[in-house]
Amino acid sequence: MSNNLRFEVVHEAFKKHAVDVVPPSARPSEFFGELVFDREKMFKYLDRKTYDALIDCIDNGKQMDRQIADKVAAGMKTWALEHGVTHCCHWFQPLTETTAQKHDSFMEYDWKGGMIEEFEGKSLFQQEPDASSFPSGGIRATFEARGYTAWDPTSPVFIYDDCLCIPTIFISYTGEALDYKAPLKKSIKVVSDAALAICKMFDKRVRKIQCNLGWEQEYFLVDDGLYAARPDLIACGRTLLGHASAKNQQMDDHYFGQIPTRVQAFMKDLEIEGHRLGIPMKTRHNEVAPNQFECAPIFGECNLANDQNMLLMGLMKQVARRHGFRVLLHEKPFEGINGSGKHNNWSLSTDTGVILLAPGKDPMSNLQFITFFVNSLVAVKRHGSLLKASIASATNAYRLGANEAPPAIISAFLGKTMTDVLRQLLNVPNDTDIVIAGKHAYNTGLVEIPEIFLDNTDRNRTSPFAFTGNRFEFRAVGSKANCAGAMTVLNAAMAEQLIDFKAAVDAEMAKGTPMKEAFMATLKPLIAEIIDTVCFDGNGYAKAWEEEARRRGLDVERCVPKMFLENTKPESVALYEKLGIFTAAELQARNEVKWETYSKLVQIEARTLGDLAINHIIPAATNYQSTLLRNVTMLKSLFPNEWETLAAPEIAIIRKISGYNAEIKEKVDVMVAKRKVANKIADDYEHAMAYYEIAELLTGIRKPIDKLEEIVDDTLWPMPKYRELLWIR
């Protein structure tokens, strides 16, 4: 391999900004949302009756008739044509963790020998992709191809390149959801309704509850040329071999460090394109590991925020290519340094401006806060296994519990202030006013430095579900995952708990108990249930935590295929069916998709590593060994009496190479034999379990390869090393 390929591949595109349509002096507020058919554009391009009907549909869930849809489509078409759009597509989220789209031209015959641009309400409302070509878990067979995408008006239509993209749900011909969006929307509806019923007891003016999501997207950047020289990155999105770089993240100097010039140019263009698409990008910075970065938006409504994250992940890949990078969204692309997550900041808020997970300013608002705070924790405690199953995958398994990310145990961090509040509430009369300390000032002792206001809770980076002042941060979600999977489970668990809580309070009040005392009487048993079980403020990375978690009755399962079994347990099916989110058939189908996906991902990694080991690594090592053998032969010829002493270093290396080569070959043969057995297993779960065992073998194959990397001539090593991959030049 040419060293030039290792270090420098220059494209003309590297030298250009990704966005040429925005003047350098333009402020983001001037072009934010210009490619989104938002309310401002709806008002401009639709007549008043059509506009009112569409807003009523978006805000109040009122059904829209086909006649109105035709007028909406006509307005969208006029706007789109002004931006040079030639095609439209239904943009949806199948069970592939990616998005899908099929572009159709606006062109239609005018029946006068020419063509016209046409876009009707029927094309806006629904389309028909091939449902059998997407993962369905057996719901759709090859000979049963029909499926439908249907417009989601609550997520704005947007323009991407020359295409008008219409966010949609995706269902089968028989009505089952084949995507992430449809269940997410159902879960948002049920948790909002359940929360509204409780909020109205505190404030009758509340009319609507919004479920909020603020995601934080972590990712790695790698030079395009180096990426092209790593078959494992191309096939698997992560490195399957590679010895640790002498310098990686041990100095902690990359985190929040100065952003490299090329990376900042990429970030700037990503933000510009994101802003034009209505994504409220707010934060950018270096993450802990070298070449690792993070971006995050202002939080927003859960369904829209999730769509924006899915859109951004695709956008990142395209913008990165224009800057000579490849984006790595794999949860663990490099061994020995931190992997990437996607922290999901989740909260509920009212249309009166109250964040339900933020402490209030008076006793009654604090009671409302404690109600939602405690019920969130109970939901997590009772459905922790389901939450873990929602973030489990073949790729996230390499990150969870790796002494860097949240452990594979779902617990919640409260902080000292909130832990003390809950413990005190257990021992006070039910009519006691709830007082929660707010921020307090801290004087640094330096006259020129202003007072610092400290929050009433610290942060715990080892906790998978942490309270951070006005929201819970679900930190276990994988970097390339669709947030909807985790949010659907969290919303469902919370909805069930709020419904049960409201029923218990109503029963207590029916006895004549005042509202405040009824709430406290219902909350106290729940606080006792969670305070010494799911609540844990300590070090989640500590070895002792797993044993303590097991004693507390928490789920400590680490096997990903087994985690998915939680989805189809009777209690899980009952939860989803009574809330109308999933049917038993849909849950079984999704599990089959998850098991099949797991098996395929591990199979690809195993085949790739086997190929690299036999066709790349062993030949390179043998080549170097041959060079050493020739040197030993010449030493013996030139120095017949002392050659053994002179050649001792080379002989030692020759022996090591032979030993490592033999170990690699033996372990690859074992892996291949196990793959052949696994491939004959028809049952999806048993097939995945067989591949779980194969996944455990990959580290064993890697170890001797990484040892060889330390001793083989650098010029003969067939791939870029970590020291090259991890530092942007």
CB 577 within 8 A of CB 584: yes
In the block, tokens 């849809």 appear at 69
Q: Give the pLDDT of residue 448.
A: 66
Burial profile 150-178: b = 16 or more Cβ within 10 angstroms, e = fewer: bbbbbbbbbbbeebbbbbbbbbbeeebbb
Q: State yes or no: pLDDT of 2 exceeds 70.
A: no
Q: Give the pLDDT of residue 661.
A: 98
In the block, tokens 């297993």 appear at 681
Residue 2 neighbours by CB under 8 Å, 6+ apart: none
Q: Give the pLDDT of residue 250.
A: 84
Q: Give the pLDDT of residue 379.
A: 98
Phi, psi dihedral angles at 632 (to 5 degrees): -65, -45
- Top-confidence range, 71-80, 106-115, 358-367: 71-80
Q: Which range (249-258, 293-302, 376-385) has the least confidence?
A: 249-258
**Residue 80: pLDDT band with limits 50, 70, 90:** very high
Tokens of 61: 């869930």
Q: State yes or no: pLDDT of 14 exceeds 60.
A: no
Q: Give the pLDDT of residue 449.
A: 63
In the chain the first and final C-alpha atoms are separated, in Å, by 20
Chain segment 190-224, per-residue pLDDT in tens: 999 999 999 999 999 999 999 999 999 999 999 99
pLDDT > 70 in the chain, percent:
94
CA distance 479 to 289: 14
**Residue 456: pLDDT band with limits 50, 70, 90:** low
CB 241 within 8 A of CB 232: yes
**Residue 487: pLDDT band with limits 50, 70, 90:** very high
Written in H, E and C, the secondary structure of 678-698 is HCCCCCHHHHHHHHHHHHHHH
- Choose among 92, 357, 42, 64: nearest CA to 210: 357
Question: Kind and range of the H or E element at 193?
Answer: helix 181-202
Q: State yes or no: pLDDT of 59 exceeds 80.
A: yes
- Kindly write down the DSSP assignment for every residue of 620-665, as one continuous string: HHHHHHHHHHHHHHHHHHH-TTTHHHHTHHHHHHHHHHHHHHHHHH
**Residue 5: pLDDT band with limits 50, 70, 90:** very low
Q: Give the pLDDT of residue 196.
A: 98
Q: State yes or no: pLDDT of 18 exceeds 60.
A: no
CA distance 223 to 217: 20
Q: Give the pLDDT of residue 455.
A: 64
Helix (H, G, I), strand (E, B) or coil at 568: helix
CA distance 221 to 223: 7
CB 411 within 8 A of CB 535: yes
CA distance 494 to 503: 14
- Can you tell me the mean pLDDT for 359-388? 96
In the block, tokens 């966005």 appear at 19
283 burial type by CB count under 10 A (0-12 exposed, 13-18 middle, 19+ buried): exposed
502 φψ region: left (φ > 0), alpha (ψ -120 to 50), beta (else) = alpha
CB 417 within 8 A of CB 508: no
Chain segment 498-525, per-residue pLDDT in tens: 999 999 999 999 999 999 999 999 999 9
Q: Give the pLDDT of residue 440.
A: 59
- Choose among 400, 410, 389: nearest CA to 569: 389
Q: What is the DSSP letter of 206?
A: -
Chain segment 551-597, per-residue pLDDT in tens: 999 999 999 999 999 999 999 999 999 999 999 999 999 999 999 99
In the block, tokens 């009523």 appear at 56
Q: State yes or no: pLDDT of 16 exceeds 70.
A: no
Pairing of strands 472-474, 465-467: antiparallel
**Alpha helices, DSSP H, located in 457-583:** 483-510, 515-530, 543-551, 560-563, 570-579
In the block, tokens 């985790």 appear at 486
- Choose among 215, 214, 168, 156: nearest CA to 35: 156
Helix axes 261-276, 302-322, angle to 10 degrees: 140
CB 411 within 8 A of CB 536: yes
Tokens of 318: 């395209």
Phi, psi dihedral angles at 454 (to 5 degrees): -90, 135
Phi, psi dihedral angles at 463 (to 5 degrees): -95, 135
Q: State yes or no: pLDDT of 242 exceeds 70.
A: yes
Q: Give the pLDDT of residue 4.
A: 41
Q: Which residues pair with 216 in a beta bridge?
A: 343
Chain segment 379-413, per-residue pLDDT in tens: 999 999 999 999 999 999 998 876 677 788 999 99
* Higher pLDDT among residues 401 and 138, named by residue: 138
CB 710 within 8 A of CB 680: no
Q: Give the pLDDT of residue 1.
A: 41
Q: State yes or no: pLDDT of 9 exceeds 70.
A: no
Chain segment 297-307, per-residue pLDDT in tens: 999 999 999 99
Separation of CA 182 from chain center? 18
**Residue 442: pLDDT band with limits 50, 70, 90:** low
CB 516 within 8 A of CB 392: no
